[in-house]
């Protein structure tokens, strides 16, 4: 692999933004670009419904950990009692999306955002909806 291609590919992953995580019980808001979805926003373009609990919060957390482990090109980065953060990389250029789950008493708030670029062609929304479907299929 030539040096220019290596530099390009490493640039696609970038460092995680410093606004990830839970602050005052909330996930970070989405940027103004259309490459993010968040269940805690009022912006209709970026809003996505929270994930339902499957059993208790701890049972739901365990199911999410299992689902993330089964996802291709996903890596669980952070695990806390009520918070999970994963990185998903695209197949070809290895662009990285940060996906966060804030597990509450009644639902799981989610945020999925591309690190780089402007548009994501609906990838982040589709990912969360697929996880919602897979979570619903769990016993």
Taking only the tens place, the pLDDT of each residue in 88-132 is: 998 777 789 999 999 999 999 999 999 988 888 899 999 999 999
Q: Quote the pTM value.
A: 0.87
Q: Is pLDDT at 1 greater than 90 in this prediction?
A: no
Q: What is the pLDDT of residue 16?
A: 82
> Tens digit of pLDDT for each residue in 65-75?
999 999 999 99
Q: What is the pLDDT of residue 13?
A: 57
Determine the longest span between alpha carbons in the chain, in angstroms: 50
- 9-12 contacts at long range (C-beta below 8 A, 24 or more positions apart): 9/93, 9/94, 11/116, 12/90, 12/93, 12/94, 12/95, 12/96, 12/116
Q: What is the pLDDT of residue 11?
A: 45
Which CATH code for domain 37-137? 3.30.310.80
Rounded percentage of the chain residues whose pLDDT exceeds 90: 76
> Tens digit of pLDDT for each residue in 51-63?
999 999 999 999 9
């Amino acid at each position: 692999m030539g040096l220019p291609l290596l530099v390009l590919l490493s640039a696609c992953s970038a460092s995680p933004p410093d606004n990830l995580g839970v602050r005052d019980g909330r996930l970070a808001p989405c940027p103004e670009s259309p490459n993010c979805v968040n269940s805690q926003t009022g912006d209709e373009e970026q809003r996505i419904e929270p994930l339902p609990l499957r059993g208790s919060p701890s049972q739901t957390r365990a199911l999410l950990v299992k689902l993330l482990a089964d996802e291709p090109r996903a890596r669980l980065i952070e695990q806390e009692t009520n918070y999970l953060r994963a990185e998903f990389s695209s197949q070809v250029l290895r662009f990285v999306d940060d996906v966060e789950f804030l597990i509450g008493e009644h639902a799981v708030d989610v945020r999925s955002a591309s690190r780089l670029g402007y548009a994501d062609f609906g990838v982040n929304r589709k990912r969360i909806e697929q996880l919602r479907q897979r979570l619903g299929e769990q016993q």
